[in-house]
Amino acid sequence: MGAGVELDLGAIRAFITVADHLHFGEAADSLGLTQQAVSKRIAKLEESLDTRLLSRTRGGTRLTDEGSAFLPHARALIALADQAVESLCGGVRPLRVDVLGTRLAATDLIRTFHETYDGVEIDVVTSSGLRSGRAALTEGSIDVAFARVVGALDAAIEHIPAYLEPLYVLVGRNHRFAHQRTVRLTDLADAIARMPGNEPGSEWAQFYDDLAAEFGLTIDTSGPDFGLDHLLDEIAHSDGSFVFSGERLRVPWHRDIVQIPIVDPTPTYPHSMLWHRRNPHPALPELINHVTTAFRPFDPSRHWLPASDIEAGLFEAYRGSVG
Q: What is the mean pLDDT of residues 240-262?
A: 93
Output Rg (C-alpha) for the chain, integer angstroms: 21
The pLDDT tens digits of the residues spanning 137-169 come to 887 888 999 999 888 888 889 999 898 999 999
Which residue in 317, 321, 312, 260 sits closest to 293, CA to CA?
A: 321
Q: Which of 56-65, 247-256, 273-282 has the lowest mean pLDDT?
A: 56-65
Provide the mean pLDDT of the chain.
Answer: 86
**pLDDT of residue 303 exceeding 60:** yes
**pLDDT of residue 8 exceeding 80:** yes
**pLDDT of residue 321 exceeding 50:** no
Task: Let me know if 309 is exposed, middle or buried by CB neighbors in 10 A (0-12, 13-18, 19+).
Answer: buried
Please tell me the total number of residues recorded for the chain in this structure: 323
pLDDT reported for residue 201: 81
Residue type at 287 in one-letter notation = L
* Residue 164 φ/ψ, nearest 5 degrees: -100, 110
Please tell me whether the peptide bond between 72 and the residue prior to it is cis, using omega within 30 degrees of 0: no
> pLDDT category, 91, cuts 50, 70, 90?
low
Structural domains of the chain ordered from first start: 9-86 (1.10.10.10), 95-163+270-298+310-320 (3.40.190.10), 165-267 (3.40.190.10)
296: left (phi over 0), alpha (psi -120 to 50) or beta: beta
Distance CA 11, CA 184 (A): 49
- Output the pTM of the full model: 0.72
**pLDDT of residue 319 exceeding 70:** no
The pLDDT tens digits of the residues spanning 178-237 come to 999 999 999 999 899 999 978 888 889 999 999 999 999 999 999 888 888 999 999 999
Distance CA 87, CA 81 (A): 10
Q: Are 107 and 153 in contact (CB under 8 A)?
A: no
pLDDT reported for residue 197: 79
